[in-house]
A = this chain, B = another copy of it.
């Protein structure tokens, strides 16, 4: 037959724990209660820190911040599947994941107060700092995985986060194509939170799903419930395992929702209906996970209370530490331009120090 079918593709959707709390036991990941509690705590911490930072921002003590509320299952669940030696490559909406990578709580405060000091992770040196050029982080994850493989660290994978909007950038395409050709263990994790500032998912791309874009590169792709942390963990873990086994990259589309503003500079009432937000609030990932844990007897009201108190204290202590910070070396941009200071930079630094020394405005 001259008009013949030469390819068939299908796309799957994974949900382990649905929004009614119904669990599919066959798919349930085997995690100990300790592990489950740790994951739950990470999600809870992220939510609390986010809302505390939002307050700081509203009081003028932080600059513009993105808010991650509602997406905790995505970032925490996926990060939980990662090893410390793997590469964590993010954009800016992965607060919970970054904390799991050992980033001190004070870091995001420092960062959103406008200092590079907040970009340095003293605990894990395979966690790339926040990257704002959308999509541009994807090739970094690819290159890092290549680097690890070439250096003989064959087990090291990359996990890279990005939003639904970022899938429109050329770098999304180029990066996945490279990873596929090179058969690298890279998990491309799309947090499809339905919006890119004011642009709804449907205006971002005409495909029925983002997951199906995997077909374009001949790699595995899957759509998952991004508010179901068990599904997120499972899909990411499976993808990482396949990657480590030499089976190449995976594209995961986690369907979730940006519950809050895009950033504190944004006013979502201009472009989206409150009803939509309310609908999604019923699918809250933390609540859903909590119910699962309680059902499983892995969690209790008492544990919840202890954790809440601990986290509250930890955050308030961090806010205090943050407010007491003063020591930001003015000329550090000169320190980090090149490894070895050039003559030009030496002269400019001297000029700079001379200027700010003289200049009362900046003292």
Residues of A within 8 A of B (CB): 2-16, 18, 24, 27, 168-174, 177, 180-181, 183, 203-209, 211-213, 215-219, 223, 231, 248
Q: Given A9-B8, A208-B7, answer yes or no on A174-B181 (Cβ-Cβ < 8 Å).
A: no
A-B contact pairs, 24 of them (CB 8 A): A2-B14, A2-B231, A3-B12, A3-B15, A4-B12, A5-B11, A6-B13, A6-B209, A8-B9, A9-B11, A168-B173, A168-B174, A169-B174, A170-B173, A172-B173, A173-B173, A173-B174, A180-B206, A205-B218, A206-B219, A212-B216, A212-B218, A213-B215, A213-B216
Q: Evaluate contact between B11 and A6: CB separation under 8 angstroms.
A: yes
Q: Closest Cβ of chain B: how far from A173's Cβ, in Å?
A: 4
Q: Given A9-B10, A169-B174, answer yes or no on A207-B216 (Cβ-Cβ < 8 Å).
A: yes
Q: Given A170-B170, A216-B216, answer yes or no on A206-B177 (Cβ-Cβ < 8 Å).
A: yes
> Cα distance A168–B174 when bound, in Å?
6
| Least CB separation from A205: chain B residue | B177
Set of chain B residues within 8 Å of A207, measured between Cβ atoms? 180, 215-218
In the complex, besides A181-B204, A207-B215, 11 extra interface pairs with C-beta distance below 8 angstroms are A4-B13, A5-B12, A8-B8, A169-B170, A170-B174, A173-B174, A177-B206, A183-B206, A206-B219, A212-B218, A216-B216
Choose one: B18, B206, B217, B223; the contact of A2 (CB below 8 Å): B18
Set of chain B residues within 8 Å of A181, measured between Cβ atoms? 203-206
Most chain B beta carbons < 10 A, residue from A11, A213, A216: A216
Q: Closest Cβ of chain B: how far from A342's Cβ, in Å?
A: 33
Q: Closest Cβ of chain B: how far from A238's Cβ, in Å?
A: 11
> Cα distance A217–B181 when bound, in Å?
21
Set of chain B residues within 8 Å of A18, measured between Cβ atoms? 2
Q: Closest Cβ of chain B: how far from A49's Cβ, in Å?
A: 31
